[in-house]
Amino acid sequence: MKWPASRGAWAAWILIGVPLAVFTVWALADNAKLYLTTLLNSLTLASLYFLVASGFTLVFGLMRNVNLAHGSLYLFGAYVGWMVGEHSGSWVLAVAAGFLSAAVIGLLLQLLVFRHMQGQDLRQTLVTIGISIVLADVMLWIWGAEIYTFEPPAWMYGSTTLPLVEKFPTYRIAVFVMAALIGLALWWFLARTRVGMMIRAGVDDRAMLAASGVNVQLVFALTFAIGAGLAGLAGVVGGTALSVSPGEDTRYLLASLVVVIVGGMGSVVGAAIGALLIGLAEQFGLAYAPTYSVVFTFVIMVVALAFKPRGLMGKAA
């Protein structure tokens, strides 16, 4: 039996939302401080996942390019940002360097790889897996297996007093605000600007867009560079909140895949919803059921795909 699209969406939302609502009522009654602290940690993690996945949803979800080297762009941006931050002493310059370095690598990937493999998903997958392995080894050779950390700006350092939770790291609050602003800017860029309309039109009908006089390759290269740059930016932001070390590329690639699959391919709003659900699942799982914490993420993904195969906010191509 095939579920109608609207009925499947409602079923997915109900099966995910009702258990969350019931758990919220119980957790608040049991220990409100623990619940609210875990909720804030979930929002921080979700913000970081969204920063990485927002670039991934541009490249994979919107442009239909299977870039499994996206996690490597995150790690590369983090390492370059760390070097710039160490030499300049400026966190803002480190963020800019992380964005620009990853954007340049992404631009090269589009021009040298994806431009010649459009629509060849299997070839894109295999080639980008190979690229990610090579980049991981190169970064390990250059920066070693050490763990690097960033110092946040002075105005983000320390903690902020919040009701019930008491003290919470100011930087984590800043990450949430930053992710919200970037998400709104990205949505506006795609939905309200001429370039955003060109991007969406090129994905739907590349030949027609080219016939109208638009340089499709230039538009796609710009999109890929922005998506890759967001991964590099997230590398510096995430490295400041947590740390930078080998293996983070794989972790954030998998997180981006899950976020885009759950939220819906090509949807910025879907990426935000998917990141929020995965962040909640991971943090509340660790706080309340650490033995089974990894299971909750996959339960959400299974439910979303079972009733809404294109993701919660996904639409037919």
| DSSP H stretches of helix in 114-169 | 121-143
Please write the tens of the pLDDT for every residue from 280-312. 988 998 888 887 777 888 888 888 888 787 777
- Percent of the chain past pLDDT 70, that is, above it, reads 91
- Check residue 134 and give its pLDDT: 93
Output 6 or 102, whichever has higher pLDDT: 102
- pLDDT band at 27; cut points 50, 70, 90: confident
In this prediction, residue 269 carries a pLDDT of 86
Supply the DSSP string of 32-65, one letter for each residue.
HHHHHHHHHHHHHHHHHHHHHHHHHIIIIIIS--
Instruction: Give pLDDT tens digits for 29-83.
Output: 888 888 888 898 999 999 999 988 888 887 776 667 788 888 999 999 999 999 9
Poorest-pLDDT segment among 31-45, 74-88, 208-222, 235-249? 208-222
Q: Which of 5-19, 77-91, 119-133, 212-226 has the highest mean pLDDT?
A: 77-91
Reported confidence tier of residue 2, pLDDT bands at 50, 70, 90:
very low
Let me know: does 60 contact 129? Beta carbons within 8 Å: no
Tokens for 100, please give them: 């620009």
Q: What's residue 82's pLDDT? A: 93
The letter for the amino acid at 240 is: T
Q: Is 76 exposed, middle or buried (0-12, 13-18, 19+ CB in 10 A)?
A: buried
Q: At residue 244, does pLDDT exceed 80?
A: yes
What confidence score (pLDDT) does residue 3 get? 46
Q: What pLDDT is stored for residue 138 in this prediction?
A: 93
| CA pair distance 91, 175, nearest whole angstrom | 14
pLDDT (tens digit per residue) in 137-159: 999 999 988 888 888 888 888 88
* pLDDT of 155: 80
- What are the CA-CA distances from residue 154 to residues 89, 91, 173, 212, 296 (Å)? 12, 10, 14, 50, 37
For residue 273, give both structure tokens: 């919803």
The answer to whether the CB of 261 falls within 8 A of the CB of 302 is: no
Confidence category of residue 9, pLDDT binned at 50, 70, 90: low
The end-to-end CA distance of the chain, in Å, is 22
- Using pLDDT thresholds of 50, 70 and 90, give the confidence band for residue 115: confident
The answer to which of 3-7, 132-136, 284-288 has the lowest mean pLDDT is 3-7
State the pLDDT at residue 206.
Answer: 67
The continuous run of DSSP H or E covering 168 comes out as: strand 166-169
